[in-house]
């Protein structure tokens, strides 16, 4: 039986803050400055960081001189954000709940969070509510279905002959992971001057570390699927992973095991 998506997400990320911070969160670093630029975050901006995770977006916003509050659905992520950004006002809340007043912020941004909510349209309405008139929204998401860095473990699972579990729900955001649909979603939520930009980059990392801090640490759905398998099946998946990830090996004299994984995201912005 397929789980409720929001309930699945809470189970998916429970206790994963440390592994996420050390691994997958590093992939999302590239988008922090473009995200904050799109939201117009600068000295004195009253800013809300939605789905802060380990607080990396909040930390950069503080460096810019913004007055920052943050929220995350996972208590462990909120704790990590407090550790990384001393004094940060961070609340534990699950979108579409936004525990702040109407028109409280001049800018709201979320780095790869809108694709983790059960009802993206309702979540956007709440984010619009806490923006003051003229305030800016910026949201990043992965191009759907995921490719490159996001897809390597999934490709390995498929190559090893492991079927997709019947009980894992498809993300409701899946239909919006391309520019026209994402633009339409944000526009229909009542935002003006909506723009969607495609962004690509390469994430350079160690292939073994990417496996250990992703698949073996049960990060994301791919990690959940790997974690359900017996040892021989995990070994088959790992063999497939090694073959696939080798295509992205860095060949410039870097230490063995370094790979440059392609990433492909969308950045949407709009004005209340």
Q: What pLDDT, on the 0 to 100 scale, is given for residue 144?
A: 81
Q: What pLDDT, on the 0 to 100 scale, is given for residue 256?
A: 75
Where do the structural domains in the chain lie, given as residue ranges? Answer: 5-145+168-203+263-271
Question: What CATH code is assigned to 5-145+168-203+263-271?
Answer: 3.40.50.150
Reading the block at residue 216, the tokens are: 């073996």
- Dist. CA 272–CA 235, nearest whole Å: 50
Q: Strand 67-72: give its sheet, edge to edge.
A: 89-92, 67-72, 46-50, 105-111, 131-142, 258-271, 192-206
pLDDT tens-place values along the chain, 272 residues long: 446 888 889 988 888 898 889 888 899 999 999 999 999 999 999 999 999 999 999 999 999 999 999 999 999 999 999 999 999 999 999 999 999 999 999 999 999 999 999 999 999 999 999 999 999 999 999 998 777 788 899 999 999 999 989 888 888 888 899 999 999 999 999 999 999 999 999 999 999 999 998 888 888 899 999 999 999 999 999 999 999 999 999 976 656 789 999 999 999 999 99
> Is pTM beyond 0.75 here?
yes
């Amino acid at each position: 039986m397929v789980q409720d998506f929001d309930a699945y997400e809470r189970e998916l990320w429970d206790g994963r803050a440390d592994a996420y911070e050390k691994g997958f969160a590093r992939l999302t670093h590239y988008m922090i400055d473009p995200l904050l630029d799109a939201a117009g975050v600068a000295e004195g901006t009253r800013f809300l960081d939605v789905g802060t995770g380990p607080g990396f977006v909040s930390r950069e916003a503080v460096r810019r001189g913004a007055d920052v509050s943050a929220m995350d659905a996972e208590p462990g992520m909120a704790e990590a954000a407090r550790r990384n950004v001393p004094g940060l006002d961070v609340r534990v809340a699950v979108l579409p709940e936004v525990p702040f007043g109407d028109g409280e912020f001049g800018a709201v941004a979320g780095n790869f969070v809108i694709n983790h909510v059960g009802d993206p349209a309702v979540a956007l309405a709440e984010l619009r509510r806490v923006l003051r008139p003229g305030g800016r929204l910026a949201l990043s998401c992965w191009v759907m279905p995921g490719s490159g860095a996001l897809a390597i473990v999934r490709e390995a699972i498929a190559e090893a002959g492991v079927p997709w579990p019947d009980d894992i729900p498809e993300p409701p955001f899946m239909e919006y992971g391309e520019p026209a649909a994402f633009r339409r979603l944000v526009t229909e939520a009542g935002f003006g001057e909506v723009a969607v930009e495609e962004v690509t980059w390469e994430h350079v990392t160690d292939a073994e570390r990417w496996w250990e801090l992703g698949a073996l640490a049960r990060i994301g759905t791919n990690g959940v699927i790997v974690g359900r398998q017996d040892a021989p099946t995990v070994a088959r998946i790992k063999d497939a992973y090694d073959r696939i990830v080798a295509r992205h090996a860095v060949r410039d004299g870097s230490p063995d095991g370094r790979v440059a994984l392609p990433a492909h995201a969308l950045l949407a912005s709009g004005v209340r």
